[in-house]
């Protein structure tokens, strides 16, 4: 529960700082659901946590944020559900044929008409395993929003993230 509070604080901070940002939000997601400016990026946090974000560099346009700590066995996520929640307290992801529904705390987004969903996924979950292997992942709401790695650098960021998570 303490981790969820930290994620809530981070998400709230992103909303507050995003409202003050001079870079503005990134481009809106096109009708097809793919925003070519968005990429997967890895970074290490000040307290040893690993972060993997899918977003437009140097903007507030972020689709998914994953975080983990070495050997904890779980990956936390924060994502924006653009059209509305797929169900009470649920976020859905898929990678190839692997599909999962994950418990999520939902907060109304002040930046979009949707919701911010926060939760945890077991590190050994089939969706995360497929994502690490292929670089393919989609968020599922009223339709599928692909958030796939398209370059070797993105796939390397994904591999590095999961390597840190496993310890």
pLDDT per position as a tens digit, 61-102:
888 999 999 999 999 999 988 765 556 788 999 999 999 999
Pairwise pLDDT comparison (88 vs 17), residue with the higher score: 88
How large a percentage of the chain has pLDDT more than 70? Answer: 75
More confident residue, 91 or 29: 91
Question: Distance between alpha carbon 151 and the CA centroid of its chain, in Å?
Answer: 18
| Number of domains the chain is built from | 1
CA–CA separation, 146 vs 140, rounded Å?
Answer: 8
Strands 115-122 and 105-108: antiparallel
pTM for the predicted model, two decimal places: 0.77
pLDDT computed for residue 101 by the predictor: 95
Residue 125 is predicted with a pLDDT of 98
Least Cα distance to 41 among 29, 28, 52, 49 occurs for: 52
- What is the average per-residue pLDDT within 47-59? 92
Q: Domain residues for 18?
A: 2-166
Q: Is residue 115 over pLDDT 90?
A: no
Q: How far is CA 73 from CA 26, 70, 99, 107, in A?
A: 33, 8, 19, 25
The more confidently predicted of residues 3 and 100 is 100
Tokens 């140097």 label which residue? 58
Q: Is the pLDDT of residue 10 over 90?
A: no
CATH number of the domain at 134, please: 2.60.40
């Amino acid at each position: 529960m303490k981790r969820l509070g930290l994620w809530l604080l981070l998400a709230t901070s992103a909303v507050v700082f995003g409202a003050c940002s001079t870079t503005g939000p990134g481009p809106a997601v096109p009708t097809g659901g793919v925003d070519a400016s968005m990429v997967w990026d890895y970074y290490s946090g000040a307290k040893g946590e690993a972060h993997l974000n899918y977003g437009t560099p140097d903007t507030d346009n972020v689709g998914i944020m994953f975080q983990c700590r070495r050997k904890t066995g779980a990956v936390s996520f924060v994502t924006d559900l653009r059209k509305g929640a797929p169900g009470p307290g649920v976020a859905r992801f898929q990678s190839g044929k692997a599909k999962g529904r994950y418990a999520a705390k939902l907060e109304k987004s002040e930046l979009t008409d949707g919701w911010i969903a926060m939760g945890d996924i077991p590190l050994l979950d089939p969706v995360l395993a497929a994502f690490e292997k292929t670089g393919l992942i989609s968020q599922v709401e009223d339709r599928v929003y692909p958030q796939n790695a398209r370059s070797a650098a993105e796939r390397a960021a994904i591999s590095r993230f999961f390597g840190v998570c496993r310890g």
